[in-house]
A and B are shown apart, each in its own frame.
Chain A
Amino acid sequence: MSTYKIVNIILAGIIGLIFIYSGFFVHSDTSIHCTVKSIYGIDCITCGFSRDFNQYVQLNFNHSINSNSFNFFLFFLINLFIRTILILVNKRILKFENRFIIADSLIQSIWFILIISPIILNMWEVIKK
């Protein structure tokens, strides 16, 4: 099995676990609390993400707490789809695997920078004030 396929399987598994956690365990005793809020006592820019993910997993897209959360949800959802497809068609892309890995890394990095930039800009504004 190629290394790329193994990495894709692990990443798909992790994303799947994120969705399972978001869908079923956010409101349970095992829920993860924001470390910024528990230490400093203030809401951070990403507070509400897990509650929003919980709503999105249940196909409720109208009541989001944090406006940035949908971009992240879409990023993880499409990534889960892409990883699954890449695992299934791995034999066909073996010839061009190196090119595929470079393209995949570049696209994911640029996409992630685009979705994270509003949060960084927001934080920058807070620091400037």
Chain B
Amino acid sequence: MSEIQNSNAGKALGIAGLVLGIVGLIVSFIPCFSFWGIIIGTTGIVLSAISISQAKKANAKKGLGTAGLIISIVGTVIAIVWVLVFAAAVNTIGNAIENANPEDIKELQESIESMGEQIQEEAEMLNENDSLN
């Protein structure tokens, strides 16, 4: 069995993969940026995989690359799940609107309008209070 060499092979790419993995994981949880999470996570996976392969060739440590690979995969999967969840939610809302009773839609429209007016009134009251203070 070959011993692990004290080599830096794959270290730089491993660090890059790990950082991209961490950033991708954080970004993937935020729905606004989940598409960016897929891009960052995929880049992290590629860099980490190259880092592991380089380390394997030089018989060096593969810890960084492995950590980066796992975190990047988790981040990418979460980002894909968010995108699918939103697509499903939009699809469900669309279907519900298509199949809804016209009277129900009218009622919903009226309640949204009254809610809007209420919010506007409260905002005006808050603004008045702010100007008094």
Contacts and interface: CB of A to CB of B under 8 A. Distances in A.
B112 to A, nearest CB: 14
Interface of B: 11, 15, 18-19, 22-23, 26, 29-36, 64, 85-90, 93
B19 A42 contact: no
Given A35-B32, A46-B30, A46-B32, A3 B86 contact: no
Interface residues of A, number: 26
Contacts of B23: 14
Given A35-B36, A46-B30, A46-B32, A126 B89 contact: yes
A46 B30 CA distance: 6
Contact of B15 (A10, A42, A49): A10
Interface of A: 3, 6-7, 10-11, 14, 32, 34-37, 40, 42, 44-47, 49, 72, 112, 116, 119-120, 123, 126-127
Contacts of B11: 3
Q: Decide if the interface of chain A is mainly helix, strand, loop or mixed.
A: helix
A36 B79 CA distance: 12
A96 to B, nearest CB: 17
Nearest to A113: B29
A39 to B, nearest CB: 8
Contacts of B29: 112, 116, 119-120
B34 A35 contact: yes
The 10 closest A-B pairs by CB, nearest first: A44-B31, A34-B32, A35-B35, A40-B90, A46-B32, A46-B30, A116-B29, A10-B19, A46-B31, A36-B31
A35 B93 CA distance: 18
Contacts of B64: 3
